[in-house]
Amino acid sequence: LNACRIDLFWHAQAVQACLRGLEAQASFDLPRLNLEVRGSRGACKLTPRFFVRDERGVLQYSSLPERAALGFAGWLPYAGRRWPLGGNIAFKALCLRHGLQTPPMWRSPAAGMSDFLVKRDRSVFSAGMRGPFRAYRADDSAQAPGDDRFYERFVPGRSVKAWFWEDRLAAIEAHDMPKLTGDGRSTLRELMQRASRTGGAHFRWDRLGDLARFQDAALDAPLEAGRTVIADLHWGSSLIPSRIEPGSTLAAYKGSALLRELQAAGPILWRFLPEGVRAATLFTVDAILDEQARLWLLEMNCEPMGHPDAYAPMLDTLLARRLDS
Amino acid sequence: LKNHNSYRLGFLSHVRAANEAAAALGLHAAVELGDYTLGVSGNGRSFRFYAQFLHERHGSGLAYSPQAADSVVGFLGWLPYFNKRWPIATDKPAFKEYCRANGLRVPATLSSPGDDLRDFVVKLPLSSFGAGLRGPFASRQAAESAGALTPGAFCEAFVRGRIVKAFYWNERLVCVEILDMPTVTGDGVSALRKLLERKLGSRSAAGVWPLFAEIAAYSGLTLDTIPSKGRQVLADYRFSSRLMPWNPGNTNVLADIKDSPLARRLADCGRPLWLGIPEPLREGTLFSVDAIADDQDQLWFLEMNCNPVCHPDVYPAMLEWLFSSDKAVQGEGPAAPREAPGTPLPTGGNTPIWRVS
């Protein structure tokens, strides 16, 4: 986890860095933290969002900097924007139609279905996801089919999230799926709790158990000394060590095939948005970069967390077009 | 984020706390992104508050600065002035002397330890962020063989107990943080190093081991010793230890202890401590003191900080005083030095950009 991405300070720093080139000034008012940018080319107002957990411990966005806020999710020129793309299934269908690679999927249990995740068509923060599972078991309620469920081939690899402002790639974040190595004495659950930044609070043990079983391990059995297993698939897993790296993410991937591929995908993905919401919109795409460096697109998010690197194209657009939220 | 408490170093925590304090008094507040100053106005008054940031520079430790740069690891809060300093907050022996003269308990100190000195730490008179802090040592011989008795250093009796950090706005106690000295408990199987690694979790770092080895030696152990099952071993005694339990929430316990003898003692000490600030600087000042609360909740004062982290819970008292007291001087105050955007931080040495006590 790059802590800069959920920290109000680093978002403010990113905005400030843009101001120099735009000959602009900015301030945010209290209590709502609405950001006002004023420059020679125009002015715009951006609204903030914050991460909170609901009473079930599920992550949500809030527009208020309430006491329970866990972090800052960025400023956007709109308060909420969704589009009738459908869900993850529709996104995958669009990818296939436009030649973008996405893992195979099944709408219902099928013969030969193996190494799969169970996902919900419409969910945020991976809510409802289970697995991976080696093979379908009809007696496992976690694998039961449902109207909103589908099955997707599990692709191990590097987790990638790409931010797009309109058709322009704005930021890339990627990390290896967190792994743990056994010491022959500690159970996998104990290893996870020790390695967690939060001591294991908010772990979804059912999912972690799925992943352990998929690798022929178990949460409550000692993990053999020297054996390494993938410990979590969740993007914001507390098993990923916290770091502070405020630099530009696109600069970090300069010259890479991943950067070229995502830049090329931007205009195609942007056209997935209905025409009426295309202008001045931030969206993200989740993907996996597998061991053969193939990129597999998983889903598109219309209400993503913001990214500090997104302010440069965002403010450039907003001030140039004199848009005002 | 490297601290055990991200609440008081989090920019969002400060924004929220300053907002709540301003709103409670019917004031308007806004933050300028150019220099992160906080402007608060209302009731016919206005004040500008200057931001400070905590930086971590590779190889040269922590520093405070008004500059926001890529090396920032925390937000230190806003103050309505910049860089007030006074003698008893910058010189530890001077603070001890002032405390003794004013009936405030301090651990015994010696500039040169005798052969019979037991259980002490070694400190530098003018250091910040625990720089130069060594020990604890059981004997003079132990300190000598560790090379801790450097010129200019002084010895201070090591008092075990709970670590207390108290914040005062003028003479008023506004925030208290209390932490137990970290310990690990033997399981009869694991070496001390392993027990410490488990407690450190993801906060482990190569540079911590010489310090832990020195603390282990005080208990007669090495990092490779296997403590017997159930034996509790002192692991650290510093407020900012990486071994402190991770706590993302508010660690101010003043409301929890408000009717306790310890809280009364801390509150009573506010005025004599505040009077140690030279009169021209005294009004409208934030300071903190570090102390140890022993088994009987007696306080042993260690040092005073003239440029402390401004805990978010300080803002209500600060704003209330500024917007109501006849002694509050309204306006811009002495501004923090401004650097051109992108100016690199000073590098080299182990000295903060300006010294903090």
On whether the CB atoms of residues B349 and B60 are closer than 8 A, the answer is yes
From chain B, the residues in CB contact with A50 under 8 A are: 12
Cβ contact A16–B18 (<8 Å): no
Q: Measure the CA–CA gap between A234 and A178, rounded to whole angstroms.
A: 9
Residues of A in contact with B33 (CB under 8 A): 12, 15-16, 19, 25-28
- Contact (CB<8Å) B11/A246: no
How far apart (Å, rounded) are the C-alpha atoms in residues B211 and B305? 24
Encoded tokens for A36? 């006002």
* CB contact (8 A) between residue B31 and residue A9: no
* CB distance A308 to A14 below 8 Å: yes
β-pairing, A228-230 vs A179-181, is: antiparallel
Closest to B194 (Cα-Cα) out of A194, A198, A180, A226: A194
Nearest to B341 among A20, A27, A199 (CB): A20
Q: Inspect the interface and report whether the beta carbons of A12 and B11 lie closer than 8 Å.
A: yes
- The pTM of this model reads 0.82
Tell me if chain A has a CB within 8 Å of the CB of B11.
yes
- Establish whether this prediction's ipTM goes over 0.95: no
Interchain CB distance below 8 Å, B1 and A71: no
Q: How far is A308 from chain B (nearest CA, A)?
A: 13
Interface of A with B (CB under 8 A): 3, 7-9, 12-13, 15-16, 19-20, 25-31, 33, 50, 65, 67, 69, 71-72, 194-199, 241-242, 244, 246-247
The dihedral built from the CA positions of residue A195, A200, A205 and A207, taken in this order, carries a sign that is negative
Backbone angles phi, psi at A206, to 5 degrees: -65, -45
Task: Tell if the CB–CB gap between B246 and A198 is shorter than 8 Å.
Answer: yes
The pLDDT tens digits along chain B (357 residues) read 344 467 888 899 999 999 999 999 999 999 999 899 999 999 899 999 999 999 887 766 778 889 898 888 889 999 999 889 999 999 989 999 999 999 999 999 887 777 788 888 988 887 776 777 888 998 888 888 888 888 888 899 999 999 999 999 999 999 999 999 999 999 999 999 999 998 887 677 777 899 999 999 999 999 999 999 999 999 999 888 888 877 778 889 999 999 999 999 999 999 999 999 999 999 999 999 999 999 999 999 999 999 998 999 999 999 999 999 988 876 554 444 444 433 333 332 222 333 222
User: What angle, 0 to 180 degrees and rounded to 10, lies between the N-to-C axes of helices A8-22 and A311-321?
Assistant: 50
At B266, list the tokens: 């801390």
